Structure 1
Amino acid sequence: MASSEISSSSDSKKTVLIVGAGPAGLATAACLTSKSIPYVLLEREDCTASMWKKLTYDRLHLHLPKKVCELPLLPFPKDFPKYPSRDQTVAYLDHYAQHFGIRPVFNTNVTSAEFSPELGLWVVMAKQNATVVCFTASSLVVATGENGEPVMPLLPGHEEFGGKCIHGKDYKNGVKYGGQKVLVVGIGNTGMEIAYDLAICGAEPTLVARSQIHVMPRDVFGLSISTFGVSQQLLKVFPTWFVDKILVLLSWLTLGNTAKYNLIRPEEGPLSLKARTGRTPVLDVGTVGKIKSGEIKVMPAIDRLTATGARFVNGVEQDFDAIIMATGYASTVCKWLKDDGMFGGDGLPKALFPNGWKGEFGLYAVGFGRRGLFGCAHDAVLVAQDIAKENHDAT
């Protein structure tokens, strides 16, 4: 670095330090504001909700109804549709920050965070261009989320492939892919929707189904009743295993036997699998229909890439003009947080949702429960309540 400078946040014994100004950080800041608890919010990018603004595709909509996805203390506008678009969600998040007077410290990349027993405070080091800044605080809220950096696995033969290969974060829409053969690696919600968008734009997409997956209708029989809403109501009365059977039956009745199209369901039910592994069922927005019509093809895992395309484990070889890796993201927490107990090697809390929000020495996590915006809201409320209680007990 060209130069360095050390500074610290004022009144450290009462200050909360939040790392990450995405939905999780914004929700935490709002909840702390409502309880008059001072905080400092650090963000490595130059804006709030940077992933929504910079790393999402144009067609993206919320997968769950807006009522489930609203952050604490401020609902989505009433005139927004049931599943707000990306632009509408960004507008909501911007309004949320403005409404609660949230002003993050931008372009501040945290490099280390460690609890100091001698000080009784968290000591956080960060880079601001060529400057090193030190913050100290009584509580540290990790709100960087599960999607800290893209996962881009190197496929066998990747050096041979002559076409373009990008991560899903760089995909905006399928306009420039019209007429091209495009391989989409990954059958999560992102991969399925990118394939759908490519088909709409006149491309010839092929999905790689490397693993088994539950594909569920977003709404029951195309009505205004969401599958998520149905599952939540049923869980109030029936055990998870029984609700799983109902959801699978609804999926069969709505989407048919997806195994005919190489989309194999796991034996374990969607809710049980989600609770145990965090794997989210795909909520179909029209992709299955395109697969049935032949506009989207589904192939098994890739054996290796070739100069002109890919060879699959079933021996079939096909040509492709481009490859889009819808292979998701990984947490970056373990790269900077020096913590022995709360987080595992994957950068996620060891305790499963809804219990992974609190650690020791004033350490908290918001938005790591693999529950999207709903999980962010859930955690933020509990964190603010707990910090308020700790502050009250200390006085």
Structure 2
Amino acid sequence: MSANSFRVCVVGAGSSGIAAVKVLAERGIEVDCCELSDRVGGNWVWGNRNGVSAAYRSLHINTSRQRMEFSDFPMPENLPDFARHDQIADYFAAYVGHFGFGDRIRFGTGVAHVEPEPDGSFSVTLSTGDTERYDAVLVANGHHWDPRMPEPMFPGAEGFRGEIMHSHSYTEEEQLAGRRVVVVGMGNSAMDIAVDASYHAAATYLSARRGVHVIPKYVWGKPYDQIAGKEWLPSALRWPVARKLMAAATGPMTRYGLPEPDHKFAQAHPTMSSRILDRLAHGAITPVPNIERFDGDEVVFTDGRRVAADLVVFCTGYKISFPFFDRDFLDPSGDNEIRLYRRVFHPGVPGLYFVGLVQPLGAIMPIAERQALLIADHLQGRYHLPGAAEMEREIDRHRRRISRRYVASKRHTIQVDYDDYMRDLRLERRRGARRPAGRTPADRPVASAAAREEIRA
């Protein structure tokens, strides 16, 4: 039995899923991709029929297209540096068409249940009711679909006479028109929605629990991420330079009425927006502190200010969840803590891989592509994992680095630096190619394929 007779199921055909399917298909590996929607693209498809994607009409990329594109399929040069959602969705569709693997994707088909079997394979139950057996499962369902509301919710919310919603439910500017809007949060979605509201709402308030460093999309006439974004440049040099650059480009955040950040630049996931600083400077958005409570049709802030509001939009992030698993393989603490070797391999469940389950300071697409190459190497016996103890040590080291580097937040549990992580994946492929095989139970998918077939027969 050849290694390529493996059957692999990829969950999701968003940007990470299609990268994985393309790599596996090119290697001759039998792969099926299950996609709930009727097209590829995931969060970049506005009005996606899957019912879980979070695109809004004004959505544009925050990473420049040159740093976002797949390595062997450049984005069209006529696209702007920071392209719109439909342009990105069309790019993903063109990627699938160009490499000809669309027949590997089962559209309109979700994954309802994944069950590891005693022989090391997986029973995958589909939304159609069918159950199929696979030798490996690649999870690429994303982590921006299960909204996280404030925990606990602010007092008085149950009696608030306006509307409360999560940013996941925001789709177009008409939801804001003529209303008094409070946007809660300081991430990218919060900035985008606040800017949209500043043009369409009767009044716009931006509520911040803590300060952030806002990065303009252009610095010195170039996309910000093309100045110091180099894989060979170590972070110890990159971030001190970037901090001086950002300070010169924007000045202190207090100049715009925002709170002083309690951390250095790059010690939290970046907030990218050129428009928010302009709208704040023109008084179109009023910055306010954190919410203290709701009172009738008013929102009361921690400094005692009150504003009448018709709509409060919580941009408070997402839970990392996998509804197709019976039990929680990844997050026993319930705190978004993910234990994966190199952010890809589950050390306790052989044949279970994760693609795109990172929050990078940069784009996810080239990362997913490189992760998929690592997985394909493992499936075909070209790459081998270290022993179980070494994998656990690597996971612990990564978690310690995260806790030292970033401010405490549920969004930082899967954080990586784009260039550092891309380099790490490249070097890990080399290290794994030199390791002996079978040092850990997780390092056995190819070796056990024939044995599994005998068990099934």
TM above 0.5: yes
Corresponding residue SS for 2:130: strand
Taking the aligned partners of 1:211 and 1:346, their CA distance within structure 2 comes to: 20
Paired letter, 1:380: A
User: Which of 224, 227, 250 is 1:227 aligned to?
Assistant: 224
Cross-structure match for 1:210 = 209
Taking the aligned partners of 1:338 and 1:102, their CA distance within structure 2 comes to: 32
Offset, 1:314: 1.1
Taking the aligned partners of 1:190 and 1:51, their CA distance within structure 2 comes to: 13
Q: Does 1:248 align with 2:249?
A: no
Q: Does 1:35 align with 2:27?
A: yes
Corresponding residue SS for 2:56: coil
Q: Does 1:116 align with 2:111?
A: no
Cross-structure match for 2:102 = 102
Offset, 1:346: 4.7
Offset, 1:147: 1.6
- Describe the shift of the 1:166–1:338 C-alpha distance in structure 2 as closer, same or farther (beyond 3 A): closer
Corresponding residue SS for 1:231: coil
Cross-structure match for 1:4 = none
Taking the aligned partners of 1:102 and 1:346, their CA distance within structure 2 comes to: 36
Cross-structure match for 1:84 = 83
Taking the aligned partners of 1:320 and 1:13, their CA distance within structure 2 comes to: 60
Corresponding residue SS for 2:66: helix
Native 8 Å contact 1:193 1:285 kept in 2: no
Paired letter, 1:377: E
Corresponding residue SS for 1:232: coil
Cross-structure match for 1:139 = 136
Offset, 1:365: 0.5
- Describe the shift of the 1:335–1:262 C-alpha distance in structure 2 as closer, same or farther (beyond 3 A): farther
Native 8 Å contact 1:61 1:84 kept in 2: yes
1:83-117 deviations in Å (ceiling 9; x for gaps): 11111011111222333332422343333323223
Taking the aligned partners of 1:335 and 1:303, their CA distance within structure 2 comes to: 37
Cross-structure match for 2:191 = 192
Offset, 1:348: 6.0
Taking the aligned partners of 2:229 and 2:175, their CA distance within structure 1 comes to: 40
Corresponding residue SS for 2:192: helix
Taking the aligned partners of 1:340 and 1:173, their CA distance within structure 2 comes to: 36
Cross-structure match for 1:48 = 40
Aligned length: 368
- Describe the shift of the 1:139–1:347 C-alpha distance in structure 2 as closer, same or farther (beyond 3 A): farther
User: Which of 132, 136, 145 is 1:148 aligned to?
Assistant: 145
Native 8 Å contact 2:5 2:30 kept in 1: no
Offset, 1:344: 7.0
Cross-structure match for 2:263 = 267
Structure 1, unaligned runs of 5 or more: 1-10, 274-278
1:163-207 deviations in Å (ceiling 9; x for gaps): 222222232333453443211111100100111122133542111
Offset, 1:29: 0.5
1:333-387 deviations in Å (ceiling 9; x for gaps): 26626575698745563248xx111224111100111123343233223222322
Taking the aligned partners of 1:46 and 1:19, their CA distance within structure 2 comes to: 14
- Describe the shift of the 1:348–1:95 C-alpha distance in structure 2 as closer, same or farther (beyond 3 A): farther
Cross-structure match for 1:284 = 273
Q: Does 1:357 align with 2:356?
A: no
Instruction: Give TM-score, length-normalised by structure 1.
Output: 0.84
Q: For structure 1, which segment, 343-352 or 326-335, has the greater mean C-alpha deviation from structure 2 after superposition? A: 343-352
Cross-structure match for 2:402 = none
Offset, 1:19: 0.8
Cross-structure match for 2:127 = 127
Native 8 Å contact 2:215 2:274 kept in 1: no
Paired letter, 2:130: V
Native 8 Å contact 1:333 1:347 kept in 2: no
Native 8 Å contact 2:243 2:265 kept in 1: yes
- Describe the shift of the 1:340–1:151 C-alpha distance in structure 2 as closer, same or farther (beyond 3 A): closer
Taking the aligned partners of 1:312 and 1:292, their CA distance within structure 2 comes to: 22
1:252-300 deviations in Å (ceiling 9; x for gaps): 2221210341232232441xx2xxxxx4211122101211221111111
Taking the aligned partners of 1:267 and 1:170, their CA distance within structure 2 comes to: 30
Identical positions, percent: 24
Taking the aligned partners of 1:363 and 1:192, their CA distance within structure 2 comes to: 36
Structure 2, unaligned runs of 5 or more: 48-53, 383-444, 451-457
What do you get for the CA RMSD once the two structures are aligned?
Answer: 2.7
Taking the aligned partners of 2:343 and 2:234, their CA distance within structure 1 comes to: 25
Cross-structure match for 1:22 = 14
Cross-structure match for 1:301 = 290
Corresponding residue SS for 2:95: helix
Q: For structure 1, which segment, 365-374 or 165-174, has the greater mean C-alpha deviation from structure 2 after superposition? A: 165-174
Taking the aligned partners of 1:24 and 1:72, their CA distance within structure 2 comes to: 14
Native 8 Å contact 2:111 2:324 kept in 1: no
Q: For structure 1, which segment, 67-76 or 328-337, has the greater mean C-alpha deviation from structure 2 after superposition? A: 328-337
Taking the aligned partners of 1:122 and 1:71, their CA distance within structure 2 comes to: 30
Corresponding residue SS for 2:123: strand
Cross-structure match for 2:173 = 174
Native 8 Å contact 1:368 1:375 kept in 2: no
Taking the aligned partners of 1:227 and 1:208, their CA distance within structure 2 comes to: 26
Paired letter, 2:72: L
- Describe the shift of the 1:180–1:120 C-alpha distance in structure 2 as closer, same or farther (beyond 3 A): closer
Offset, 1:327: 2.1
1:2-52 deviations in Å (ceiling 9; x for gaps): xxxxxxxxx996111111111111111111111111111112334322432
Cross-structure match for 2:51 = none
Paired letter, 1:108: T
Taking the aligned partners of 1:137 and 1:377, their CA distance within structure 2 comes to: 22
